[in-house]
Structures are given as C-alpha cells and as structure tokens.
Structure 1
Amino acid sequence: MNCTRFYRSLIALALIFSGIRAGYAQQIDSMINLYGERYPQEKIYVHFDKPAYNTGETIWFKSYLFAGIVPSPISKNFYAELLDQSGKVLQQKILPVYEGSSAGSFDLPANLPPTIVFRAYTTWMLNFDTTFLFSKTIRILNKTVAVAPAATAATTGGAKQTGTAKQPAATAAANSNPSSMVTLRFFPEGGDLVTGLESVVAVKVTDEFGLPVSAEGVVKDNSGATVANFGTVHDGMGRFTLEPQAGKTYTAEWTDEKKQTHKTSLPPAKQTGVTLQCAPTGSREAFIIRRSLDATDELKTLYLLGYFNSQVVYKARLNLTQNFMVSGSIPLEGIPTGMLQMTLFDANWKPVAERINFVNKEDYFFTTKVVPVAKSTDRRAKNTLVIDVPDTLKSNLSISVTDAGLTKSDPDADNIVSHLLLSGDLHGYIHNPYYYLTGNDDTVRSHLDLVMLTNGWRRFKWDDLAAGKLPVIKFPRENYLSLSATLTGVQPNQVPKNTQINVFLQAKDSSRQLFFLSIDSTGKFQQDGLVFFDTVSVFYQFNNNKFLANKSVVNFSNGTHKSPAGVKPDSAWRVPMPIDTSLLNRGKYFALEAERLKPELEKKVKTLEAVTVKARTKSKQQIMDEKYASGLFTGGDATTFDLTDDVSALGAMNIFTYLQGRVAGLQISTGGQTTLQWRGATPSLFLNEMPVDVTAIENIPVTDIAYVKAFRPPFFGAMGGGAGGAIAIYTKKGGDVSSNTSNIGGLDKSKLTGYAVPKEFYSPDYSKEVTNADLPDIRPTLFWQPYLLFDKNNHKVTITFYNNDVSKRIRIILEGMNEEGQLTRVEKIIE
C-alpha cells in the first residue's frame, strides 16, 4: 500500500487512446488527476472503547484519518460532536491531529435522550459531499426501553449506517406491521435498462431499519408472462438478467421472509442506449459494452475511463461503428486494494454508464501480536499483555479492554479495515462489511460484487470537469490553531501597512509566549501552527501606534470553525435501531450498580474530609511535572531535569550546552549554529508548551529556566508526528521566581480558547494502596490507551490492567494503522 509505489505503477498501466477528440479527453483525465492531487478527500474511522453507554459514563475515542489509501497529511484539527436526533449539537470537542489521528473523550450528563449521535469531521471534508462525514448512533442504555430478544444494534456512518446490526428474527412490539416496511429496490448494472439489450439487474431488500431481508419472486411483463426469477442470495441482495422488449413494462411479484406478498415496478427501459457489464478475472477487470442496434452516431464511438483514488489508470476509445458489442479488460497490476471506478462516455464525452468495482489484493494488513502474559478474571486480578509489531514501519494503534458483555462479538461487523477500505467510500448502509474482506474466494467476490451493484459512489460532476471547473474551497486547510486578530472601530485605510501587534499568551499556570503579529493583505493579524489547551489569557499592545490603541477594538480568535449548520441530520438518526437484549441488560446492570454505590461514595468522601490521610511523599520530579507540565506533556517517556536547585546549570552558556551528553541518543552540536538530532530526525522544541525554534531558546538565560523534559522519539504531541522526539523547556514561575509574574501590567487583555483539555483514563493499580479500595469496583471499561506507537527501534509494548469485581469475560480490541496505510485489528477474549 505504499503510495509512492502505487503512483509509479500507474505510469506502467496501459492507456489505450487514439484519434478523435483527444484534446477533450485530455481535459477530462487531466481534471480527474488534478482533483486527486489538489483535492484529496478525507475519511474518518473512530475506535470507541465500547458501543453503548450509560449516563454518567465517559465516551473514550480514537480517530484515524485517511486521505486516499494513506494517513492524511491534510487536516490538523479534528472536530467531534454529540448531537441529539434533531441535529442539535450537545457537546463539541476540537482536538489536534497527530500522525493522522486524534483522541479525546466526552463525559455524558444525566439529561440525555435514549439515542445520541457521534459526528466527526475535518473542515476540509466540509468542502465536499458532507454525507461522508463520520457519524455513529449511540444508545444510552439506562434510557433505553427493552426490545425483542433477537434484535441487535446498528450504527450509522455519514449518510449511511456503518455498523454491525443483525437482521432481527423477531421485531420490537412497537412495529405492529413489519412487512409493510419492507422495501425492494432494483439496480440495473451500469445505470439503465435499455430496450433490446440484456442487462444484469441487482436487487436489494431491506426493512424499516435498513437491515437486509430475504425474499424471492418473479418478474412479469404487462401481459402477465413471467420473464425472470430472482431471489436474495446474501444479506438481502441478489441478481437476475433481463432483456427489456419494446412496448413492455415490468413488475416484480415477490414474497418476503415472513411470507408477505408484494408488488414492485421495475424502472422503465430507455429506447436506445448502451450497457456496461463487468466481471473480475484474476489480474484483470473484464468488461462488455453493448449498444442498441439503432443507436445514434454519438453511441457508436465510446470512451471508457478507469480511475483509482482519483488517478486515471485506464483510458480507451471504443469503435462500435460496425459491431454492437465490444469487450476488453483493465490490467490491475500495481493497483492496491480499493475502489476502481469505470465511467463510459459517448462521442461527445457525456457520461452514459458507470460502474464501481472492488479490487482486493489482500495487501492491507500488517501483523500485530497480542500475547496475554498473565491473565485472570478473578476479582481485581492483574492482567498483563505484550503487544508486538514485528515491523520497521511506524505504526499507531489504540486498545480497549472492556467487560465482554458490553460489546457484542460480530466478526463481520464494521471496523477500521472495512470502514477505511470499503464502507467509508460508499453511499448507503453496508451490512456486516468486514465479511467481504475475510476472504477472496469466488463466493465472497460474488457477494462483494452485489455490494458494488447496489451502492452508489460519485465523486465527479462530469459537466464541471469538461468545462475545467474546480470545486469551490470554502474551508482552506487548517494548520492547527491560529492566533488571529481582527480590528474593528477603524477603517482599513487607517491601518498602516507595517502595523504590528505585540501579543503575550499566558496559560493558567502562568507560562507565557510572546508573538509579534504583522498585518496581512486581508487586514488581519495571524500566526498559525499553534498547539495550546484549555483557555489562555491574551495580552496585547500596538507597536508605537497610539491612534489604533485608542480607537480600535481587537477581536481574537483561534481560527477554528463552529459546527456546520448547513449539514442536515441523517434520516437514519431518527430510526429507533434495534439493540441486543443481553447487551442492554448488561449495560443497565452497570448503570444500576453505579447509581446504588453513589451514596456510599459520597459518604466516603465526606468521611475522608474529617480524617487525616497518610499518603506517600511525592518526588521532586513529580512535583515539578504537576506544576509545569499539562495535557500531552504530562508524564510520558522522558528524561527530566529540575534546574531550580541544580548548581551545575549556572555555568552553562545556554540550555543546549547544559543538555549535551545528558540524554542518551540526543546529539547536540553548538559549534556556530546549534543543531539537534535524535534517531536520525530533528527534535521538536517547545517553550512553555508552545512550539518554537532553536533561536527562541538558545538566548534564554539558564537561570530563568526551571524544568526541562526530553521526550524520547516518537513524541506524538509534536507536528509531523515527532519522529525526533521533543524537548520541552519551562521558564520559572510561582514560587520558583522572586516576583509575581501572573500579570502583565499596562497591556489590554482578552481570552482565547484552545484545544479540549485531555482527560486521563483512570486505571487502578491494586498492587498499591488505592483510595476507596473498600468500595465495589464496577468499571465497565477496564483499560483504554489511545496511543500505542511503534517503530523499528520500539516494536514491543507491555500493558497492565486490573479486573473489576464483576467481569468474568474480558474483551480486548486492538486497532491501528502504519505510515503506509496498512491496517491491523486484533480481538481477544479472556475468560
């Protein structure tokens, strides 16, 4: 799945084209390639710790962001929202993207409806088809009414469901007449039925939830004669062949799995036209194209384009002047796993047929081993896992460990592999999409082709491409947060060209950063590429311009966007999706236990207030870390230095000469221009957790520095993934300096909101003394780690977690991707 290797291979693919209207063809395929290069579309998959929740719990999530077939380098801000069924935003989190991923959490209040929607997107995605925004319907279990035992849960993704629902054998009591909600749809291959031409027609039968229904029936013409038989062969899908005749209309008479009878009209056939029929044949994608015998001249010369990931991989001019049928094949060598689109044009380059095909090279996995070294389901027992990625590529994984009763085992359900390769690229609900990637035999390929026939994909508006029109980009690419200032109260011509604002950002811990913002061509002052969390104070002053200081008002923003009001809620959100009764009961058990224990916990807390509690003394390093580090900079794999009582620091010329030889693997050269290298890459530098360069640090007196953390590579808190690790430098504050530095006198002040504050997952260590250890432990999620990072020097990680008091079966789910876009998923049960 190497992107560079893929694009090199495109050059070797056969491009068959000659003769008529070559310039017009060049316009079309060059525009397709331009779309792929300039406007790659992103897609999102989100790994949750579990599929359903109770009020009072926390939703833990990790997002994976792709562009084409590789981790996306485009967006730097990730937007996550909780919505009600009407589309009203209940909560929003904005998070930084590191190595094509992001992680966060939502705390669920008590006043939630039984069903909420998790929606995720980047602003770049809002420039295109917003039905591809990620969304998932989440049930609030202790607000949910019980349903029939056989029913199971479903989720949505974009304008489609991307979840794991099974077709219920029994329907909820609220649905008094389920058969009336069953729908049959027809999908002629290529798009249209054409009189006199045999076509493959796919069928799809679903219930009111969009879930598959079995059916069988016959197709009759308007004289009552039976012309075809059909039946569903897999998940409500099937196919039959039909050659429409002039003057005939067609109706399907069919029976669903509950023996209810129905009638559905087929779409009318066009009088003249063309058909496109496809079939994979090993290393090639074969096609057959037929035209009407009395077709006009526009249909006697056709053009076929094949494109993968918005890059043209096949182009052919087809001469049907003498023959009404032509066949050929597209070579698949060099094309990795993914969607291959084929569009057939007439002589005037108007699209007349379209088909999508799935190329499965089974090249999308990388190996990950999860080995339980110590396992037990006893009360508060210790479990130890070793996670091994035997590869030299960088990889980025997440892991959840939960009570097994809270997550239904469904090996064919949507997951990181099926969503990023299949369901995330298609309109409409794909039932159990991972099934189509579990094998590549004839049966699975045939079933997968039914999915291709019954689900839509459309990226291009061909008229726009032919006219050379490019999409309107309303939302440019974001480069993390911005410090953006806009002046009001003065006319633009009253602001001199070289005007500058001096700005201090001061965090709640009194750490600060200085910026000098110059006016740009739009009349704004802006500095982007910033990463800061929570709320910061903004102190500012105009540089030698008293008129602006007295007359203008400065409005600051962080450059992020509000929730997209123009995106309409998906109609599927309002459907009360069935849910598995065992999962519902298990979830409610945890909710009831949490409610029962709440008075005991509150009583315990009040008692502790009147008792002297003896605790272990914190180390000086722990005290310094709590005082200075925040968010992604807390803890971590780092070498730390406390300079507040280090006499040797006084003799150092600067912090870099002090660090020379003190951190294993970190190479620092201070001869002339200071350079740093760690594991072959340059470490990222932070001053009070703001990204800076070497020159911003080397002139700071060592006596002003209190604390230094050297994070070993990789450090995911740095832009670009932190392949060279990071060095975080903190200047003195609070009791470490002689004067009060919490205010900046004489400057105007404002407030600015940063990224959502990271929340740390609580995992007790029962080998040590734990507060409230005498209270029952009913944690539904035993362990959650959104970032497990591996590379050639670090391919094993050991994690430890403790069981609660009630779980007898424990489910482990590990998902992730590597730098070339290959994917992994491991699911294990401890019992």
Structure 2
Amino acid sequence: MKPVITLSFFLCLLFKSTNAQINDTGIARIITNIRQLYELNPSEKCFLHTDKRFYQPGENIWFKTYLTTNDLPVPLSNVVYTDFSDAKGNVLSKNMWKAANGSATGNLFIPDSLVTGIYRIRSYTLWMLNEPSSISEQYVFILGKRDQSKSYYLPESSFTVDFFPESGKLIDSFENSIAFRVTDANQMPVLNAKAELIDENKKSVASAFFHTEGIGLIKFTPEPGKKYSLQVSLNLNNKKLFELPTSNKNGMVLNVSNLSASKVFIQANATNQFVSENKEIIVVAQQYGKTVTAQVFNFEEAKNAIVLNKKNLSEGLMQVLAFNNKLQQIAERWIWVQTATANELNLSVDSLSFVKKGKNKFTITVNNNESPDLSVAIIPADLPDYSFINHPNIQTYQLIHSNNRDGFLFQNNIGRTAYELSSAYLDALMLTINPARFSPDAIQTSKQPPLRYFFETGISVRGTVKKEKESMQFDSSRVDIITKGADSSTIFSTSRLDNKGAFAVNDLHFRKQATIYLQATNKEKKKRQLAFELLPGYIDTLDDKIASARFNPGYKELTGNNTVNEQFVKNYSVSGLGKELAEIIIKGKTKEERKVDSLNKVLTSDAFRESEYTKSPNQNFGYISFAQLFEQEFFGLRFNSGYDRISGMGGTESSGSASNDIISYYLNEQPISSEELNFINPQEVVLVKVNRNTNLHLGQMGPGPSVLIYTIRKLRSRFNFTTSTLTGYSIPLQFVNPDFSRDEIRNTEDRRTTLLWQHQVKFENGKASLQFYNNDYSKKFKVIIQGIDKKGNLYYLEKIIE
C-alpha cells in the first residue's frame, strides 16, 4: 500500500522551508481544491474491444466493454451505451447494455445494405458525457457487397509539424525540451521520416530523436534573438522546413525527467528577470487528486530540484504544476508513471491444425499471480487489414485517447519495448496531448465543472403526474409504478411525489422494452388513476444524427493486379450471403398462399426471401407465446426448454453446446438471441420462415438451421390505464463456436471470418484454455487478447500463429 501523506505534513514542510513571500494558506487551498475537484468528478472510462476491425455486410461485430474509474476496475455505472454510425454521423443502431462486474458484452449487426466505408462505434456511460473526450471510439472498415473484389489504400499527402514545448514556451539560454508530431493531411502519423534542428543560417543545431507514430523530441538551448526551424525529410526530394515557436527572453523552464526506472526528477530554471520577480515558486505534483509532493523552490539559494521515488507513486498519470509567488499557475507538465515490470500475457500452442475444420487448442498464462478479466478474438490472419483504420487497443485508449482533451490523435498501439525506449517515447507522447481535466481557474477557485448527466446503476423511471385541477396537492402523495417487461416480467415500485408532482424510481432492470402503468394515492389515502408524463430515457433521446467522425481519411481504390483480394473473394467473400434453399413453386395457389406470397414480397429483402417453409400465423388463434405459435403453425417441430434447438428438424439428436442443430433466429432480419423469443408478442407476428438445414449467413454464423420472424407493431391500450413505454437493455447474441467433431456437418462449407470470440476467460491454477475449429481456408491465425486485472494493470497481446 502506498504511504498516505497528509495536508498537514505538506504544510509543515512548507512552513519550515519558506518565508513570508509564499502564502501558505493559499497553497493549502490549492491542494484542497485539487483533491475536491477529483473527488467530486471521478473519471470513468469505457474501452471497447471488438473481434476485429474489418467486416462485411451480414456479419456481427462482437464486442466487450471494460469500465474503469480513475483507471481502476471499480465502475460508477452499470449501464453502457453504444452507437454505430457512418463517418457523417448517421446513426445506424443505438443500444443500451447491462454491465456487470465492470464489463458488458454485446453485438452489432451489419445490415446487408451498408456500402464500403469507414464506420464508427462509440461506447460510453451517461456519466462520461460530462467529459466527451473520454468516450471510446473504434473505427472499422466495412467492405460492401458490390466491392468484394476491391482493395483500398491511403495515398501519400502533404505533411505538417506541430510543436509542444515542455514548459509551454521556449526560454532563452536554458536547455529546453520540445516534442513534435509529424502528420499528413489525413491526420495520419508520418513514418520513417528524419528530422534535424537548424538555425536561421541553415546551420545544424541538434538531431531530433524520432520515436514511433511520427512523434519526436528535441533538446537544445536557444540563443537570444535567433530563430530555429525543424527540417523534416521523407526522402532526398521531399524536405520541408517548419519554424519553431519564438523563444522568450524572460521566463522559467520546468524540466521533468521520467526516464529512470525508479525516480522522477523535477527541476526548474529561470531567467534573472523572472527571479527578481519570483525568488520562490511552489511545485505541486498530484495523481488522481492526491498530492504526492508540494515543495518550495528557492532560486537564490539554488534549491530548485526534487527527486520522487516511484515506489511511492501509482502507475498512471501524474501532473506537475508550478505556481509563482502570487499562486498563479505558470507551468504544467504531465507524465505517465510506468513501472519497470510489465504485466505480460503468454500464449502457448498445445495443438495446431490448419486443415479444413481442424481443431486447435491454445493456453494463456500471465507472469504474475493475477487472474485478469480478458476477452479473446481469433481470426484468419489473411483477412484484409487496412493500417489507416484508427482502432486503439486497451493500453492506448486508457493512456492516450481517453486523456486527450485536444482533439483527434491517430494512435493504435503503444507497445512495450525496452524500458528506456518505452519511457522516452511515453515522455515525448505525453507532451503532445492535453490530459488536464480542470482549468487553472478551477484549481484556484475550486469552481466545479457543470454536470449535465448522472451515473446510472440501472434504468430510471422518472416523470410527472398531471394535475386534474390546480388545487390538487401532491406533497404527501405517492405513486405506485408497475413496470411490465416485454417478456411479461413485472416490477412493482413506489415513489413519493414532490410538490410539483414529480416522481422517480431508480435501479430497475428490464430487457428490450417495458410498459409503465401508474396509480396514484392522494393525501386522503384514496387511489386514483391519473394521467402522467414520462421522461424518456437517454437511449430514447439519442438522435439518428450525431456529430461527424473526427477521423475520415481519404482512401482510394487500388487498381491493377490484386492477387490478395482475389484470394479473399475465393475464401471469405459473402456477396452471395451463403447458400439458400429454393422454395417449391406450386401452381394454382390458395388465397392463404397468395397472402403469404404478398407478405413475403413486402416484408423480406432479397437475401432472406427464399426459404424452405414460409407461413403466416392464424391471428384468430389466441396464442400466448411465440413457442406456442411456432409449434402450432409448424406441426411436428418443437422447441426445447432453452429455445436453442428444435426437435423434428430432420437431423440427429443434439450432442454438446455447439452442434449442427443450434438455431439462428432473426427478428425482422436482425439476428437475435434465443432468449429474445420470450419478448415477442405473438399477436404481432405476421410471417415466419424456416430453413431446416442451412443458415442464411453460413460464412459468419456457422452451420445450422434458421428461423426468421416478421412482426408488425400494434398499438393498443390495456385496461384503460394511462401507459407509456421505456426502452430496456439490448439482448446480446451468443457467439456459436461450431463443433466440427461430428461427421454429419464436416462437409458443410465454412467461411467464418471470426473463428473464436470469447468474452470471458476462466483461469484455473494460473492457466486458461482456448479451443476452436479452423474454417476451410485459413492457413494462419491472428490472436488478440485484451483485458484488465483488479489492480488496474492492462493486458494486450496480438500474435500471429502460423
């Protein structure tokens, strides 16, 4: 456990080391303000791990979210939102998911109609909307049905350089550190560039140290009156000069060195004019609102440096602030405190098979005693993988994207190299972003930022009872709330009414949708049904148009010989959306059959139109559940208790949880979980289609039968109650890992592009086992593992198995 250093301890040090020039009460106020700002505004983050970043129409995007508060897996919220949109901000789907133990799992279906392009998935909680920069954004590339034979690339473009002085500005006659970022017109980092600092006479001053992702660092001492430029060259014929910010004659340089594995060095140097005005300054360092040091620097006495021991610090962000003798903030520096020991994942191969439907077994181990919360994706390594897609891993999101308040930054992977190189890169990188959550004015005054959103631990039912007449009083009344779920589950709750008739009930949990009924009891204990107005939940207020994506590079089609994509079309293309069974054509159809044909033509798209059985249920039969409807209309076919199999399908008896008769369900051509059958109102079902032996999306979902359900919403009032509806949690699909050990399904073609998606990994004795079957074509696998442990340590592994 880290030692706790109290405010009184800091003040003792300050009283001992400072004279009257520094106001100790003011310093104590600043330390208290910082603590209160962080305590009252905890930072929540929501990383989104998807199974891959390249998709085709008809596939599912499988994902898991990881929630943290102040970078620890102790979330504020139990409700997660996702929205899926194109680059222009047109929302294609919006969902609300129930989180448990700091994570939520789900899937997003990609409609057949989507055209080729870059699409954006955002994940967040309601609380995170108070700081929109923390919202997780993952970009994916979708290859449309008409472009299956095409490939794309990002052409070269002009580039520019942005500069970031360590102290905010350059100061003459002292060594200054200045980071820079080289990006092109698409906001992409320029790689493999060289840079050199030259003066106004074209004379070389210093070589710039280039890190990865177009980020570099220069250390030099500006001479008074001189101008400097950075010469960046991509090749002999492509060189450009970029002028550095002008250096200042007066000021202070704050240097923070984070390169040591055990120490952080903080030093300040100032010009004579600055010292004459500020013989002393105060330096405060804090992590997540907890002050780790507060020291007075005295320039006249050469007391201008301190050393912090990293064993007393937490891994994560640290802010170093400098204040003048008027307690005005004059400099700021952010670093990432990195431990020398990395938390690494190890992946070993127990059995490997690249034959058609070959069985594979891998083992995950960690180099510590933790059992982290992990999710795993295994995909064919020969899928198209465009490098111009911004799709950060968990380390990059938690360290960089979620902390950057200064706009978009392309960064997918930080990676861990040798400690010295990794620390130097992080040091330069932290100079190029702005993690400051609170303004200097807020730190001075403790002015709290405006909070428009609260954190949710469940679904809230909030509204106002309407007065029948102005004389009605509600201050001691109550309202009984009945929440009727779409699956017929019922929640009874009670809320007091305030003097304006407002009521609220929190922490409800229901899926899909719920109907709300209200019954009020007045001061005389008389029950009465009153009209009310229900406030919509956030998911119901999300517009179909949101802000355009901050990232939309101008990629182009690759022309000429494209053997790579030819192989993709041969092995994985879904332009035909799998195999489909032709319907038997019968001449002289009955009236009922003509009705079915009409519904089939109006309700279904081309990809779903043909099926083995198509029926329109008899609406005169008072069905009470979809299972009853199905078994009556399709006589001889019967659900099991879990709805994941149907007896009488003509196959053999089921064996195991991944056999050939596991059913894929579609509601209005959107894939749904078998659990969602409980939420379907049988009176709204107008068409049901059955394929006994072939899944429509064989290439993505695996073999097996499919049931397609089409509904038309009917609006009605029950018992003359005043009612309203709220959207509930979305129901995630279960990823089906087919079991090809059975001979009867081994001859079915398998074109899956996600071989395994496992959102939960179970460790036993420090090891976790992964088992999956190959498809018919993959000759090498890509394994991506991400997660976090109870201490907040982040885990990421990407490995090619061949």
Could you say which TM-score interval applies, normalised by the shorter chain?
0.7 to 0.9
The 2-side partners of 1:348 and 1:11 are apart by: 20
Does structure 1 residue 330 correspond to structure 2 residue 308? yes
Cα distance in 2 between the residues matched to 1:415 and 1:268? 37
- Tell me the equivalent position of 1:285: 264
CA contact (8 A) 2:10 2:293 kept: yes
Corresponding position of 2:134 = 132
What are the Cα deviations for residues 391-411 of structure 1, in whole angstroms up to 9, with x where unaligned? 87664221222222237599x
Which position in structure 1 is the counterpart of 2:36? 34
Tell me the equivalent position of 1:496.
Answer: 474
Residues 722-774 of structure 1: per-residue CA shift (max 9 Å, x gap): xxxxxxxxxxxxxxxxxxxx997464433221011222223322345878x76
One-letter amino acid matched to 2:728: G
2:210 aligns to what SS in structure 1?
coil
In the alignment, is residue 434 of structure 1 matched against residue 405 of structure 2?
no
In structure 1, C-alpha distance between the alignment counterparts of 2:100 and 2:722, rounded to whole Å: 34
User: Map of 1:391-430 to 2, 5 A cutoff?
Assistant: 395-406=372-383, 414-426=392-404, 427=406, 429=409
Give the structure 2 partner of residue 633 of structure 1. none
Query: How far has the Cα of 1:313 moved from its partner?
Result: 0.7
SS in 2 for 1:448: helix
In the alignment, what sits opposite 2:712? none
- Tell me how large the CA RMSD over aligned residues is: 4.2
Structure 2 CA distance for aligned equivalents of residues 141 and 439 of structure 1: 38
State the SS of the aligned residue for 1:438. coil
Structure 2 residue aligned with 1:820: 791
In the alignment, what sits opposite 1:189?
A: 166
1:802 maps to which of 750, 753, 773: 773
Q: Does the alignment pair 1:516 with 2:504?
A: no
Between the two proteins, the alignment pairs up a number of residues equal to 679
**Aligned AA for 1:553?**
F
- State TM-score, norm by structure 1: 0.72
Q: What are the Cα deviations for residues 58-88 of structure 1, in whole angstroms up to 9, with x where unaligned?
A: 1111111122231132122111111222223
Contact 1:286 1:329 in 2 (8 A): yes
Question: Residue 525 of structure 1: which of 494, 500, 503 is its match?
Answer: 503
Aligned-residue offset at 1:548? 9.5
**Other structure's SS at 1:595 match:** coil
SS at match of 2:430: helix
In structure 1, the partner of 2:250 is: 272
The secondary structure found in structure 1 opposite 2:198 is strand
Distance 1:464 1:830, change over 3 A: closer
The alpha carbon displacement at 1:815 in A equals: 2.1
1:753 counterpart = 2:727: yes
Deviations along 1:686-729, whole A, 9 cap, x unmatched? Answer: xxx99xxxxxxxxxxxxxxxxxxxxxxxxxxxxxxxxxxxxxxx
Match of 1:781 in 2: 754
Select which of 74, 77, 82 maps to 2:76.
74
Equivalent position of 1:239 in the other structure: 217
1:141 Cα offset (Å): 2.1
For residues 70-108 of structure 1, what are the alpha-carbon distances to aligned partners after superposition, in whole Å with 9 as ceiling and x for unaligned?
113212211111122222322111112211111111111
SS at match of 1:383: strand
Q: In the TM superposition, what are the counterparts of 1:694-713 in structure 2 within 5 Å? A: none
Deviation per residue, 1:631-651 (Å, 9 max, x gap): xxxxx99xxxxxxxxxxxxxx
Q: Is the 2:114–2:144 contact (alpha carbons within 8 Å) kept by the matching residues of 1? A: no
Question: Where does residue 631 of structure 1 map in the other structure?
Answer: none
Q: Secondary structure at the match of 1:592?
A: coil
Alpha-carbon distance, 1:527 to partner = 1.4
- 1:453 corresponds in structure 2 to 431
Shift of residue 41, structure 1, vs aligned partner: 0.9
Amino acid at match of 2:78: K
Contact 1:481-1:531 at 8 Å conserved across structures: yes
Letter in 2 for 1:188: P
**For the structure 1 residues 802 and 246, does the alpha-carbon distance in structure 2 shift closer, same or farther, using more than 3 Å as the test?**
closer
Match of 2:46 among 44, 47, 50: 44
Q: Say whether the 8 Å CA contact 1:487–1:524 is kept in structure 2.
A: yes
CA deviation vs aligned residue, 1:532-587 (integer Å, no higher than 9, x gap): 11022333323368999576334264465734899844532355499998986666
Given the alignment, which residue of 285, 309, 326 partners 1:348?
Answer: 326
Cα distance change on mapping 1:546 and 1:789 into 2, 3 Å: same
Conservation of the 8 A alpha-carbon contact between 2:47 and 2:394: yes
Instruction: Give distance in 2, aligned partners of 1:403 and 1:476.
Output: 42
- Aligned pair partner of 1:229 in 185, 206, 216: 206
Q: CA deviation at 1:242?
A: 3.7
SS in 2 for 1:463: helix
Unpaired runs of 5+ residues, structure 2, are: 585-607, 616-630, 647-655, 658-677, 680-715
- Contact 1:423 1:433 (C-alpha < 8 Å) held by counterparts: no
Question: Shift of residue 469 of structure 1?
Answer: 0.9
Q: Which residue pairs with 1:723 in the alignment?
A: none
Residues 576 and 8 (structure 1), Cα distance of their counterparts in 2 relative to 1, 3 Å cut: farther
Which of 283, 287, 296 is the equivalent residue of 1:304?
283
- 1:104 aligned onto 2:106: yes
Q: 1:769, 1:274 → 2: CA distance?
A: 76
Which of 337-346 and 495-504 deviates more?
495-504
TM, length-normalised to structure 2: 0.74
Change (3 A) 1:569 1:342: farther
Secondary structure of 2:573's counterpart equals: helix
CA distance in 2, matches of 1:131, 1:587: 37
- Distance in 2 of aligned mates of 1:86 and 1:438: 37
User: Compared with structure 1, are the counterparts of its residues 344 and 150 closer, same or farther at alpha carbon in structure 2 (3 Å cutoff)?
Assistant: farther
Pick aligned residue for 1:765 from 721, 735, 739: 739
- In 2 relative to 1, CA 116–817 (structure 1 residues): closer, same or farther, beyond 3 Å? same
Instruction: Report the CA distance between 1:346 and its aligned residue.
Output: 1.1
Q: 1:112 to 1:251 in 2, by over 3 A?
A: same
Q: Distance in 2 between matches of 1:275 and 1:206?
A: 27
Q: Does 1:597 align with 2:568?
A: no
1:502-541 deviation digits (Å, cap 9, x = unpaired): 2322233323222223224663222111111102233332
1:802 and 1:827, CA in 2 relative to 1: closer, same or farther beyond 3 A?
same
Over the matched positions of the two proteins, sequence identity in percent amounts to: 23
Letter in 2 for 1:609: Y
